[in-house]
Structure 1
Amino acid sequence: MADSAQAAPPPPPPPAPALEVRLEPGSEGVIRLVAVAPITLKLSLSPADVQQEGLKYKVKLRGTQKNLPKDATCRVLIKASSLGEVRDSELGAQPLQISGETCTLDLELDTFASGFFGKGTAHLSVIPDFPFAAPCDVPTPLEFNNPLDVTGANPGKVMLGKLLKLTPVFSDKFEKATLKLSVFHGGAIESGKIADSLAYSIFEWTEEDDDTKEWRVGCAHSGNDYLLTYLDTNKAEYSFDLRLEVIQESEGQEVSYVVWEKPKAVSFPKPKLTSFEIGSGRAIAKVENVDPDFGFPLELTLWQYGIHEFDPIVRTSMMNPISRPVLAEASSSEYFWQLLVPSVTMEKVQIFALLRIPKTLSGTDSYVPVSTVMDYDETKFRTFDDDQLWIEPPAKKGTKKSKQQKTPKDLATAIASQELKDTPTRAPHFGSISTGVRENNLLISIKLVGDSGYWKGAEPVFSLYDEACQTELVKLKTQPSAQNPRLHEALVSLEDPNLLGKKVSIRGQVTHPETHLWGELVAAPPAFSVAYEGVPRLSGLTMRTVELTDATSYMQVRCQTRHVPNGKKGSTLGFRLYEYFVGMSEPVLLSQIPFRYDVSKGAGGQCDSQGRLVARITDQDMVKKLLGQGKYKLEACVLDKEGKVLSSEVRPIFTEFGKSPRRIEGTMVWGEKVPPEFRKKVLAICDLLKIKPDYLMACMAFETGRTFSAKKQNSAGHNAYGLIQFTKSGSEGLGKTVDELKVMTEVEQLDYVYKYMARCIERKGPLRTMSDVYMAIICPEAVGQPETYVCYSRASSPVAYEANKGLDKGKKGFITKDDATAPVDEQYRAGETYRL
């Protein structure tokens, strides 16, 4: 091994470059070099050294240092991570406590300023304020948990109209703070344009007001309507950015801290119209990409079009709206055919539906193109712009862009259903002719379609003719409607003997057929003649059960009304309900049915000569009764004036429903004194009133001297008659006078005994005792009172006392409830019980 070769030593390192300080020629200066010892700082964090006091975190960092002066200070960088966000903050000039090589750093961190929101960690980096000192990254992160968020605010992709429920999550550390969620149109965060002024919707919560708030995606509330918030024709998908902030009040000023920002937190595809057509009695529009829970409002109108004869040569297909625009949900909408009356001047009339975007959705005073709200296949639907739907003068040169220079998407377009195969035109002509009633007058409305300047020159005139269109009866004076100047209205008194209940014709024509339209001669609108039959009548009575989501139901009843005037001399329309009973030829009127009217009624009657009267029975006990056993009769009628309207009789209409009539059995005193039909009816009405038949029979026995006669006059000669001695004041509101009541049969008069008692029960409560039944007749104020209650006294009610002083037992000067009932009780005990 001695002669083995030795390894060559490594070459020496190259010499360090010499440091050289030069002063350039012509320069002067003094350079001082300072030697700085190497600086080291090592700090750590123990969970035991973290204390949370309210909104402050008190933190003590412990460690070692070398070569730092005793008065050294540090900057502290804080990087907090939570809720998907990283928040940077800084504390400056924090004093470092140095004792030899050991040191500590006491920090007080503010929850808001440090961004300690939600559950997360914060990494601390300490930088000594000393030359060439390296940062010290604290290896152990600071953990925090201060719940603060909004659940439901990051759904991702949804459909238009999705209902988001936004619920705040608050820690008690933020009791005086406000949580603010701002919604921006997509792209605002990426572009940096997120000023509050650009937020289209803001939701705010405090600890005191932390209710869940709702947001329909793509919509905002405007009063009771929804307002679309996207309206962009160039995007197949739309998104919204969200920003959550917490706001703290500090020294009288509000300071905002961002909790998180989420670009495109919510997105949805643009709705798409896939079909639109007329079905069986309804127009159906189907729209995709709309949340099933959202009733997407669209505006539907029904139109008619057909050949209009101007002269033997000119034949043009023309169109007219035949219904007012109606708001309906996009999934389906119904409009009833029986309300549509095509113009008689049109041949081969066809009907199509027109769809528009309601003005409420855009928040403007004008319509917007359908394409701004939804996509549709332009090859499947026929579009109309406003120039086609409404004739207006041509735009003046230089004022607006001409129609030819606009694209269809620039115009407020409407879409027609597929039933429209050709393109009708519009020219000046008479539109719809409708009739109604206004303040006891026949209201005739004639729509003038076309340019208002043309109609001013053409001077239309209107008249009423007889049925044969030979004799002019009335020349109509028309004037434009205050709501629509294209609608001319005329009023004719319904008391005119040539009108009510007669068949007449409404005729119209232009005075100057040679009038020009916009400088050009056009075919004059043809004259029209529309038959009018002013016979008041009711029709189409229906009833159905409507089941509600809360397991309750109501009965809806409705009927068509025609030519029933309103005004001071009008009549009250309504419904009556009867029940059939076994052994009775006529049903009993149920007088306590709580009808709730959907169409107003009252002294003015129905407000339209061709409208609907709709009411509901909402009382659940009554609904169960009508859906259970028994047979019933529903009647629509004129409730007052003996069923007449301006001396013209309006026949009531009725329908029957239910199963078999109920059988009423029971006992009653004095039953042998009255015929079977009377006995049956007493049992029936007592069953409905929930009173004992014996009590009512005893009262009628006393009041009629056991005759049970409808004509029986008061024994003292007073103007009181019948089974319960009806008086003028007592019969008010029953629909009959005393003179009318006393000429009825006993069975007929029982209907009004029932109505009288039912009214008392409604006002005073149930009649549980015989004394209460009799008090309903003689002193209703005593119903429900103790037997010692004073009905009348010589001192306080001398007239009533004198009329009934025979009831004063002991001549005390007053009559108690017990006194008054004593003779009735005698009749009760004297009457023989009869069983049915």
Structure 2
Amino acid sequence: MTTEAQVAPPLEVRLEPGAEGVIRLVAVAPITLKLSLSMEDVRQEGRLYKVKLRGTQKNLPRDATCRVVISAKSLGEPVQSELGAIPMQINGESCTVDLELDTFASGLFGDGKAQFSVIPDFPFVTPCTVSGLMEFNNPLDVTGATPDKVLLGSLLKLTPVFSQKFKEAKLKLSVFHGGAIESGRASDSLAWSIFEWTLEDDDTKEWRVGCAESGGEYLLTYLDKHQDEYSFDLRLEVVQETDGQEVSYLVWEKKKAVSFPKPKLTSFEVGSGSALAKVENIDPGFRLPLELTLWQYGLHQLDPVVRTLLMNPISRPALAQASSSEYFWELVLPSLGMSQVQLFALLRIPKTLSGTDTYVPVSAVMDYDASKFLTFDDDQLWLEPPPKKGTKQSKQKKTPKDLATAIASQELKDTPTRSPHFGSISTGVRDNNLLVSIKLVGDRGYWKAAEPTFSLYDETGQSELAKLTVKPSEQNPRYLEALVPLEDPNLFGKKVRIRGQVTKPDANLWDELVAAPPAFSVSYEGVPRWLDKPTLRFVDLTDATSYVQVRCQVQHVPNGKNGSTLGFRLYERFVGIEKPILLAQVPFRYDVPKGAGGQCDSQGRLVARITDQEVVRKLKGQGKYMLEACVLDKDGKVLSTEVASSFKELDGSPRRIEGTMVWGSKVSEEFRKKVVIICDLLKIKPDDLMACMAFETGGTFSASKQNNAGGRAYGLIQFTPSGTEGLGKTVDELKVMTEIEQLDYVYKYMARCISKKGPLTTRSDIYMAIICPEAVGQPETYTCYSQAGSPRAYGENKGLDWGKKGYITKADATVPVDKYFQDGQLYRL
């Protein structure tokens, strides 16, 4: 007997009237299945789990199979997988199920627990939920990838989390435009960035949000949409090679995992020698490249009745960086028949940010208030023939933002136009010739028809002195160049005017008559006596380093004539020293090579950089410095009689450097201070330098002390004619100096040796710099001179061969210096 509660519910079969068929009833014994899991029955081998489920059953056939559903939470997200056709081992009422789970296929990532459900492949069987959970711990993730809302250019540090269990696995993080995952377009070919790691290569990688890298440069990855906020979907996969092919398994997908607001241009103006653009919604650690160009505009008197503003670029495009970006220029601004000439700047998005050969609209990168800024497109910026009509949308149907290839700074209130006219006229020096450069603004076909001519006139502009022969520049055919020898009697030492005009004022532009460009007249003073005050600015780079750019504008100075060149020199001021100390070891890297125009370009711009990071840090506030622009001869001597040097004092406080030294009481206080300073710059010990100078001068420290043997060697370190080459002074000039003055050349001599031979770390190295530079850095047993190999030098120094060996070692030569060091202790001050 069974109770009422145990009676199965009745089954009812209904047949529609007229239906025919056969109904067979099969009796199925009630099935029961109970399974449990113990962690003792779980074994992990690499990426595989081997699991045994144990329990009891009733009425299942011996050859029964089952499906197993695995449910878990992987890295906080629910996952489910299924195993099919799993044999069940049935022995009487006992039942076991052996499983083999693939960690990747099952999605068992991170630290969690898995629940099993077993469903026998048999009719009318209720799924069996296995009692007991399988614990798993499989670290496999990328941290730092999902910060939610950030700013453009935010630097995300992506750190992989790996498990040693998966030695052959590779993690791959793919970045897609927001919505790609939801729309099913998240394929590798559409990914903007892909980051990959292995167990051996698990370094933290960096991702600038909104950017991808290509050839070491950033590309913006959001240019194809125009909205207020942009987002990126992320997909993390683990890749495993199986049978020679890579198979990917999803770890997680996150829609709109990273989002950022569109940048906004809030201010753009021309300042004092700079163009400044400010952009909001950019991460402080990111510098968005922008392309800036300086333009001039003014009222062009084409017709007394028609008021026309013409604009003309006067600088090449320069890459700047938002949100605080600036660049400097030195330009000649001729009258060009304009009155009220003013400046404005144009901002464009560099082509490198789009990865194409065309400029993208500014609105594709940033928002701006259209009522505050004027916009330009390419047709307005460049005088090219009108493009052929095609199927593209007409300009009339485009918004100003669609056409905004460039945006003008806030100084520009009215939109100027461009028509053929004489652009910038600049003067410089090339190979001892006056170089006149004339820019022709407009279509080249027009200028060919207009036939411009150029002449040299006297100061009054009344008498023509000479016709100028012009030809297109090799660098830019839109520039015409004329050369006039600087020694020409019509030019040298005089004030003249350079004039230009068109001979065919009725020339047509694209088959239409246009107003002829007004003639121009520019003054030039042919006097080689001018060096502008140098300027200095710091440029911060993206790798946390900096360099210092120094520049000067020059006019008609010798460019390489008789070996003379232009150059910069840096000095430091110290407390207690009247004159600044020349920093002889500071290397300047010039934009123009020494042999290609005297380090000054054809427009008279002298530009150099200081890249030594220690010097850059000092210039940012660790002392007081002075910059000099000067003319130097081939030996580094300043030719101040040709062109006076120009100086710029930098802000800061002079350093105070103090210390005692051997022989200190035998010299003046100013001498002691200067020795301490130059030793600090050379990174050597003052005691060691004083010992060397004491020996060389016999303890007199006299700048005129002659070699005891009567040779041509004088002064604190016994300067010789050969040793002074490149110092800018001869022995005769050095020996009549004061000791304080001669210390400058002791410093310069030692600095030159350090640049060639390396640091002077010992007393013997310092003395070797004086007597045998080849021995600097060598062991003490190094042979400086030998009777057999260098008889003359050996003879001049044979008193240093203490054992009469026939050769002099580095240690031999330093013996008397060491004695002077010991004796000098009595006079330490």
TM range (shorter): 0.7 to 0.9
Offset from partner CA, 1:691-730 (integer Å, 9 cap, x none): 465763553359xxx99684969856x6656776644322
Distance 1:661 1:632, change over 3 A: farther
Aligned with residue 199 of structure 2, among 168, 186, 207: 207
**Larger displacement relative to structure 2 (44-53 or 521-530):** 44-53
Instruction: Give the aligned partner of residue 631 of structure 2.
Output: 638
SS at match of 2:293: strand
- The question of 1:172 aligning with 2:164 is answered yes
Instruction: Give the aligned partner of residue 4 of structure 1.
Output: none
SS at match of 2:37: strand
Aligned with residue 295 of structure 2, among 288, 293, 303: 303
Aligned with residue 697 of structure 2, among 688, 697, 700: 700
Aligned with residue 643 of structure 2, among 644, 650, 659: 650
Contact 1:669 1:694 in 2 (8 A): no
How far apart, CA to CA, are the structure 2 residues paired with 1:816 and 1:324?
Answer: 60
Query: Deviation at 1:520?
Result: 1.9
Contact 1:444 1:489 in 2 (8 A): yes
**Larger displacement relative to structure 2 (652-661 or 507-516):** 652-661
1:254-273, aligned counterparts within 5 Å? 254-273=246-265
How far apart, CA to CA, are the structure 1 residues paired with 2:544 and 2:152?
Answer: 30
Query: Deviation at 1:823?
Result: 9.6
How far apart, CA to CA, are the structure 2 residues paired with 1:826 and 1:542?
Answer: 49
Contact 1:152 1:166 in 2 (8 A): yes
Whichever residue aligns with residue 56 of structure 1, its letter is: L
- The question of 1:800 aligning with 2:796 is answered no
- The question of 1:732 aligning with 2:731 is answered no
- The question of 1:577 aligning with 2:567 is answered no
Aligned with residue 428 of structure 1, among 395, 413, 420: 420
How far apart, CA to CA, are the structure 1 residues paired with 2:657 and 2:117?
Answer: 91
Query: Deviation at 1:686?
Result: 7.7
Whichever residue aligns with residue 281 of structure 2, its letter is: N
**Larger displacement relative to structure 2 (384-393 or 786-795):** 786-795
Contact 1:596 1:618 in 2 (8 A): no
How far apart, CA to CA, are the structure 2 residues paired with 1:660 and 1:191?
Answer: 66
**Larger displacement relative to structure 2 (157-166 or 494-503):** 494-503
- The question of 1:322 aligning with 2:314 is answered yes
Query: Deviation at 1:592?
Result: 4.3
How far apart, CA to CA, are the structure 1 residues paired with 2:50 and 2:664?
Answer: 94
Taking only aligned residues, the RMSD between alpha carbons, in angstroms, comes to: 4.7
- The question of 1:515 aligning with 2:507 is answered yes
- The question of 1:611 aligning with 2:605 is answered yes
Query: Deviation at 1:575?
Result: 0.9
1:450-465, aligned counterparts within 5 Å? 450-465=442-457
Offset from partner CA, 1:650-691 (integer Å, 9 cap, x none): 1113456856999999896997xxxx99x9658845873524
Contact 2:636 2:728 in 1 (8 A): no
Contact 1:565 1:606 in 2 (8 A): no
Query: Deviation at 1:361?
Result: 1.8
Distance 1:489 1:224, change over 3 A: farther
Instruction: Give the aligned partner of residue 74 of structure 1.
Output: 66
Whichever residue aligns with residue 699 of structure 1, its letter is: E
**Larger displacement relative to structure 2 (476-485 or 58-67):** 476-485
Instruction: Give the aligned partner of residue 130 of structure 2.
Output: 138
How far apart, CA to CA, are the structure 2 residues paired with 1:400 and 1:19?
Answer: 69
TM-score by length of structure 1 reads 0.82
Instruction: Give the aligned partner of residue 196 of structure 1.
Output: 188
SS at match of 1:649: coil
Aligned with residue 364 of structure 1, among 340, 352, 356: 356
Instruction: Give the aligned partner of residue 5 of structure 1.
Output: none
Query: Deviation at 1:447?
Result: 1.7
How far apart, CA to CA, are the structure 2 residues paired with 1:60 and 1:699?
Answer: 92
How far apart, CA to CA, are the structure 2 residues paired with 1:589 and 1:233?
Answer: 58
Query: Deviation at 1:525?
Result: 0.4
How far apart, CA to CA, are the structure 1 residues paired with 2:442 and 2:11?
Answer: 101
How far apart, CA to CA, are the structure 1 residues paired with 2:339 and 2:472?
Answer: 28
How far apart, CA to CA, are the structure 2 residues paired with 1:645 and 1:826?
Answer: 39
Instruction: Give the aligned partner of residue 289 of structure 1.
Output: 281
Structure 1: 5+ residue runs without aligned partners? 1-13
How far apart, CA to CA, are the structure 1 residues paired with 2:659 and 2:82?
Answer: 91
Instruction: Give the aligned partner of residue 9 of structure 1.
Output: none
Contact 1:637 1:643 in 2 (8 A): no
Contact 1:385 1:413 in 2 (8 A): yes
Whichever residue aligns with residue 517 of structure 1, its letter is: L
Instruction: Give the aligned partner of residue 688 of structure 1.
Output: 678
1:555-594, aligned counterparts within 5 Å? 559-564=552-557, 566=559, 569-575=563-569, 577=571, 587=579, 589-590=581-582, 592-594=584-586
Whichever residue aligns with residue 573 of structure 1, its letter is: G
**Larger displacement relative to structure 2 (485-494 or 750-759):** 750-759
Distance 1:498 1:822, change over 3 A: farther
How far apart, CA to CA, are the structure 2 residues paired with 1:823 and 1:148?
Answer: 70
SS at match of 1:172: coil
Offset from partner CA, 1:617-649 (integer Å, 9 cap, x none): 9585998799789x9765432232599999981
Contact 1:385 1:408 in 2 (8 A): no
How far apart, CA to CA, are the structure 2 residues paired with 1:743 and 1:701?
Answer: 18
Contact 1:148 1:169 in 2 (8 A): yes
Offset from partner CA, 1:135-173 (integer Å, 9 cap, x none): 333354433221222112222222222222211112222
Contact 1:581 1:664 in 2 (8 A): no
Contact 2:423 2:441 in 1 (8 A): yes
Offset from partner CA, 1:519-552 (integer Å, 9 cap, x none): 2211100111112335353332467999999999
1:398-477, aligned counterparts within 5 Å? 402-404=394-396, 406-438=398-430, 441-477=433-469
The total of aligned residue pairs comes to: 806
TM-score by length of structure 2 reads 0.83
How far apart, CA to CA, are the structure 2 residues paired with 1:818 and 1:110?
Answer: 73
Instruction: Give the aligned partner of residue 481 of structure 2.
Output: 489
Contact 2:636 2:727 in 1 (8 A): no
